[in-house]
Structure 1
Amino acid sequence: MPTQRLSARGAAQESPMRKRAAIYDFGLILLLIFGGCCSNALALELTTRQLPASGTLLTLAQFVATTLIALLCELEWRSMYGWPVLWLRRPGVPLRRWLIQVVLYFITSILNNEAFAFHIPMSVHIVFRSGGMLVNMVLGYTVSGKRYSLLQLASVMLVTVGVIVATLSAAMPSASGPPSRHPMGDYMTGVALLSLALITSGCMGLFQEQTYAKYGREHWHEALFYSHLFSLPLFVLQSGALRQQIAHANQTPREWIGMCKSCQVLGFFIPSYYIKLALNVLTQLLCINGVNRLTSRVSSLSVSLILVVRKAVSLLISVVLLNHQTGSMGLWSGAAAVLVGTLGYSYGGLRHSTPSPKIKST
């Protein structure tokens, strides 16, 4: 009896500690998502505004940084000839599956970042990348044989209409902002690049889902590492564009990094583009960390809800705070349709996948 009382007392004392730890962990996740992801959207817009045609350089910097950070968790100590050495962990998924995903991920990233060269506003970029559910639904129905509820079908249609309305409204001159100085052909080329990115992203998601179903979802960090590592050699195909973009980045106005600008000691000058690029890479790492932590702790509906709110905050920051505009009615109505449709799709999927309770026979 005394032993049982002591164990019950210890459990009662441990419960508040677990609650505080859970609250701290969830607070850290929200800070990483809203701080990291929203800051990343801001840094991305500042970077692409200074050099719109720097998508390949931007993608390379993101891939190198993500590879180096993910490498830290993929190393382990091994013994070779009696000496301890750091070596890569044995992968839990065959590398050939990661190679297929690498090509799709590389193409998707390049297309998304190159679209900025064709004067796609960040607001459209945020809304458009939420429109991949139509592609995912078509691929899921035709390839995986999935079936969707009526609420999911209606939600996807709402999201698609919202993306179209927001995209077309951004191409029209706005009363709250300066008239567009870019040809419509350039804008539609950027839209085509984003559309292709949605297709490749949908194929990548389907392939990744099949991989996780076969080998388990605990390999997400391994996927993060190898998808970025194996993509690095592919940048050789973009070497000409990279040299040109690096030359343009080196020509941007120089800014002082250090303690004393007037006396020019304990510091150095650096092209201003690289400061924005470093900020973009850092905030992206924080964003990835937050999203992966969130996915592993809460339901898919909660993940969708939090990410939808995050995208809405990013849209407000881009349109109102950074560009000092009010945005058009078409943009806000399209964004609202996307947000409502995303939530409806997630909720419909949750109800569709939940089995109905069985009635016991008496």
Structure 2
Amino acid sequence: MHLSKTIVKVFLGCCSSAFLMEILMSKCPESANLITFLQFFFISLQGFVFTVKFGTIKPKIPLKHYAILIALFFITSVANNYVYALHVPSTLHMIIRSASSPASMLVYCIVKKQSPRVSNAVGSVLISLGVILATYGGAPIDKTEGIFLYWCIGVTILMATLITGAFTGLQQEILYAKYGKNPSEMMFYTHAIPLPFFIGISSELLETGTSLTWGIWLLIALNIVSQFYCAHSVHELATKETSVTVTFILTLRKFASLLISSIVFKNNLTSLHILGTICVTVGTIIYFNFFENLKQKPVTYVSDKKSN
């Protein structure tokens, strides 16, 4: 019963955040970095008060060991923002990011020097095929005036962030195995320590912030709250279920966001988008062997991953 409530909170928080982000990107795509900064700042402020108790609680994981994780996390978060300004639609953005499963498997197999299970391999092929179909279907018809070039750059950035995101998850796993599972602490430090990095784009943030209307600021405030609720719900779910089930549920959440986007914004989904989405969904089910896992007793591994 409690798990069902947590899943509902994940869908409510994360779908709301994605829905509000798509509205914001349609109105002012240049505000993506500002929104990311404000999300980082709000989560850091909340963690400073409630997690580390104004700095009175020392981190269980030494701060120097957060360096690689924070660098990967920050690069992935900021790089994804620039994609919105490169003519990559939000629907395609969500579909490509659903390919995090094969990317994680690829990175894990290379680093750990292990071969994947058959279900993992088959699922990854289907997911990758779905991404390829959706990518091709999302390419703009007008390939003049540099639009297609920008689109290619945007898709390349998305593909690259799949790899950096996979390394982020692997680094989290390494830290969890060595120092124990501290999701709230990790959530705080991965958002608080990178804040000074935003100084490099402070002029951009200031210029963007002063140009926004009160209506946009209201949407940003709602997005920040919903994103925090999303992240908190995912952490709560991760303490009750296996990482396999958590990732599967998050993939379904992305699929739900895609459907909401298509219905509300009446996005022009092509047959390739639809076929690609089906492949991603079926591939995810096979990859995680979800129905078999329902019959097994969950393990105690906790995954600390952020969803957007």
Same fold (TM over 0.5): yes
Q: Distance in 1 between matches of 2:24 and 2:209?
A: 13
Equivalent positions of 1:206-217 (< 5 A) are: 206-217=170-181
Structure 1 unaligned blocks of 5 or more: 1-22, 77-85, 253-270, 355-362
- Aligned residues: CA RMSD: 2.4
Q: Is the 8 A contact 2:137 2:272 kept in 1?
A: yes
Q: Deviations over 1:96-135 (max 9, x none)?
A: 1112211111111001112111122111111111112333
1:172-183 to 2 correspondence within 5 Å? 172-173=140-141, 183=147
What TM-score does the superposition give when structure 1 sets the normalisation length?
0.75
Instruction: Please tell me the residue identity of whatever aligns with 2:169.
Output: G
Could you list the per-position Cα deviations for residues 212-248 of structure 1 after superposition, in whole angstroms to 9, with x for gaps in the alignment?
A: 111122x111110001000100001112322332233
Match of 1:54 in 2: 31
Residue 189 of structure 1 aligns with which residue?
153
1:335: how far off?
1.1
Tell me the SS of whatever aligns to 2:240. Answer: coil
State how far apart, in whole Å, the 1-side matches of 2:5 and 2:166 are.
30
Structure with the higher helix share, 1 or 2: 2
- Correspondences of 1:266-277 after superposition (within 5 Å): 271-277=214-220
| 2:202 counterpart residue number | 239
| Distance in 1 between residues matched to 2:249 and 2:290, nearest whole Å | 17
Residue identity (%): 30
Deviates more, 1:27-36 or 1:228-237: 27-36
**Larger proportion of strand:** 1
Q: Say whether residues 1:224 and 2:170 are aligned partners.
A: no
The equivalent residue for 1:337 is 279
Structure 2 residue 166 is matched with structure 1 residue 202 = yes
CA gap of 1:188–1:298, structure 2 versus 1, over 3 A, is: same
What are structure 2's unaligned runs of at least 5 residues? Answer: 297-308
- Note the C-alpha offset of 1:284: 0.6
Q: Give the AA of the match of 2:252.
A: V
For normalisation by structure 2, the TM-score amounts to: 0.88
Contact 2:87-2:147 within 8 A present in 1 as well? no
- Structure 1 residues 1-362: aligned runs within 5 Å: 23=1, 25-76=2-53, 87-173=55-141, 183-217=147-181, 219-249=182-212, 252=213, 271-321=214-264, 323-325=265-267, 327-347=269-289
Q: Distance in 2 between matches of 1:236 and 1:163?
A: 35
TM-aligned CA deviation for residue 182 of structure 1: 7.9
Bigger relative contact order (CA 8 A; separation at least 6): 2
Distance 1:308 1:203, change over 3 A: closer
Q: How many residues align?
A: 294
Amino acid at match of 1:155: G
SS in 2 for 1:72: helix
Letter in 2 for 1:156: S
Instruction: State the 4+ residue runs in structure 1 displaced beyond 4 angstroms.
Output: 179-182, 348-351
